Amino acid sequence: MTPWKPFAAAFALAAATIAAPAATAAYPDQPIKIVVPYTAGGSSDVIARAISDELSAELGQSVIVENRAGAGSMIGTAYVANEKADGYTLLLADVPFTIVPALYGDRIKYKPQADFTAVSLLGVSPMYLFVNPAFPAKSVKELVDMALAKPGSISIGSGGNGSLTHLMAALFMLNTGIKLVHIPYKGASASVNDLAGGQIDASFTTMPTATALYQAGRVRPLAVSSPQRQQESPDVPTFDEAGVANMTVQSWWGLVAPARTPAPVLEKLNAAMAKVMQSPKVVGRLNSVGVNLPSDTSAAALQKLLAADFTRWDEVVKRAGITFE
């Protein structure tokens, strides 16, 4: 080796070392993409578009929302997992993010707990247990008593096998020791419509899905899965108040990035999102689709929620014996 080659190699290494922090410090210097793993128009899409303009203003770069739907959120999620961990491709995650691995295990093409890191918790929405107005039970206790007296005599609809509404029904049965007849539908709206029509006895869903029917008196809520009673339904008790523990579960939405995204980039995103989530415009848009702003929207809050949900749904799926081919 000629004398200058070691110095050239050392210089190149030093230059690369200096260039990496410099590139990170310049973040962002190109448009950022938020991938929504569903078609346009749904709650996740609305939330992504609600935060994109404000995040763009905070970071000084365009923030583009891209819909990559399919396979119950798995296509879009796998896409982001395989993107470069540089802060330019983010994922708008929701409850299926933590349910899918419990249902499909190693058959999915990514590992949610290893391939992603939290950026910000965006919103939460509790689940309600609704019954048909003609249903005899006027409380959760009365429903449980009826189901214990006649196992398999009460039907409960859901938005489909493996959906949050299905797993909520499974969790409810596990926590009360009752046996209900699960009727899966193609979407929560279809389930609630049949509930109003008297084809089924009960169904879990969010208030936004059932608002029109609830206001018209065509469905009746027995309990809500939030820690406290909700402003839009102050007479509806929480499950804890109704005597059923371990039912404090909320639908949620969060922003996550590929794992190994540099810490300085995450810090910039965290700081920007903290300001975005204080925007009255963003809060108003979220509230318009029935999504509540959490008291803590930090990355740590989302990470804590994710850890709890991964554990919860894995246990529910195993205990309830839910299997998918």
pLDDT digit string, tens, across residues 67-105: 999 999 999 999 999 999 999 999 999 999 999 999 999
Does residue 181 lie in a domain region? Answer: yes
Is there a single domain that holds both residue 57 and residue 115? Answer: yes
Is there a single domain that holds both residue 227 and residue 131? Answer: yes
Does residue 229 lie in a domain region? Answer: yes
Reduced DSSP (H G I as helix, E B as strand, rest coil) percent helix, strand, coil of the chain, to 5? 45, 20, 35
d(CA 219, CA 207): 11
Is there a single domain that holds both residue 198 and residue 180? Answer: yes
Is there a single domain that holds both residue 236 and residue 224? Answer: yes
Is there a single domain that holds both residue 130 and residue 216? Answer: yes
Does residue 3 lie in a domain region? Answer: no
Is there a single domain that holds both residue 118 and residue 260? Answer: yes
Domain boundaries, position 143: 126-242
Between the CA of residue 151 and those of 133, 178, 180, 203, what are the distances in Å? Answer: 21, 7, 7, 17
List the one residue out of 199, 220, 200, 211 whose CA is nearest residue 137. Answer: 220
Which one-letter amino acid corresponds to residue 194?
Answer: D
pTM: 0.88
d(CA 66, CA 77): 12
pLDDT digit string, tens, across residues 14-60: 444 444 455 566 899 999 999 999 999 888 999 999 999 999 999 99
**Total structural domains in the chain?**
2
Is there a single domain that holds both residue 227 and residue 265? Answer: no
For position 281, which CATH number holds? 3.40.190.150
